Amino acid sequence: MAREFIFLIFDLRQLGSAAQLIAEAIVRYTTPVNNPKILLVKDHNSGDESSEDTLYVRDSLLRRYDVTFFEEPSGGLSEADTEGYDLIWLNNPGNPMGSEVTKQRLLSLAGGVVLQGDDLSRGEGFNVEDLTGLEHVDNGTEVRCAGRDYNHNNNNGEQYRLVLDPAKIPGVDDSTLRFEYGNDIDNTRVLRDDLEVLAYAVGGPKECIEERPAIVRYFK
């Protein structure tokens, strides 16, 4: 039974050493294969925004694995594109998913799927709730708390405080369970009863306590 993860974090380079540990934990949880064959897909809709993030995932975070890098065709992923892989990792640093064809292909896979990007809780003109298990509320650039709006965008405002659940991500060092993140993270609501939240993001100053899903999974 495959496990599916949805990353709602923009640029993993900002997390420092935590990014490596989290990425490897996600691979372990998403596939039971010891040395999985991973297809890293750059979403066609990503444009040039933070294009170096995709290369960072390939060259640093997944360097210990058997990874094939693939730029998504404009028509979306086909069965032939994904055949033979244990895990599909779709990266789009800062835009919604571009292809409904790709969404349907990911839904049909028997293996694991990782979605990584701060706008992947929605598609470009189509709904992705059946894939993510999340309802898109807004893009998370602002957090309202105690009657005020706090900006969270491009490292020019407040820092999201992210907290990982050690019971759900075992093996991650205690020093990486809490960290700060200065960009936007999609604001979403959980739709599925079987969806697990592995990490929460809390925005605004320390007095604010509203928790938003940051990393989630469910079993296919």
Maximum separation of any 2 CA atoms in the chain, in Å: 52
Please give the Cα distance from 51 to 202 (Å, whole number).
Answer: 27
Q: Within a domain: residue 42?
A: yes
Among the ranges given (134-143, 149-158, 160-169), the one the predictor scored with the smallest mean pLDDT:
160-169
Evaluated on CA atoms 8, 84, 58, 170, the torsion sign reads positive
Report whether pLDDT(20) > 90: no
Q: Within a domain: residue 60?
A: yes
Q: Within a domain: residue 15?
A: yes
Report whether pLDDT(52) > 90: no
Q: Within a domain: residue 149?
A: no
Q: Which tokens in the block code for residue 218?
A: 């469910």
Q: Within a domain: residue 142?
A: no
What is the per-residue pLDDT across 157-202, written as a single tens digit (0 to 9) for each?
999 999 888 888 777 777 678 888 888 999 999 999 999 999 999 9
pLDDT-derived band at 17, boundaries 50, 70, 90: confident
Report whether pLDDT(1) > 70: no
Q: Give the pTM.
A: 0.93
Among the ranges given (108-112, 121-125, 148-152), the one the predictor scored with the smallest mean pLDDT:
108-112
**What string of DSSP letters covers 85-102?**
-SEEEEE-SSS-B--HHH
Q: Within a domain: residue 178?
A: no
Domain count, the chain: 1
Predicted confidence at residue 10, as pLDDT, reads 60
CA distances for 128 relative to 48, 139, 145, 157, angstroms: 23, 15, 28, 29
Report whether pLDDT(16) > 80: no
Q: Within a domain: residue 151?
A: no
Predicted confidence at residue 2, as pLDDT, reads 57
Which residues have a Cβ under 8 Å from the Cβ of 193 and sit 6 or more positions away? none
Residues of the domain holding 25: 3-136+188-199+210-219
Cα(first)–Cα(last) distance of the chain, in Å? 6
Q: Within a domain: residue 95?
A: yes
Please give the Cα distance from 36 to 39 (Å, whole number).
Answer: 10
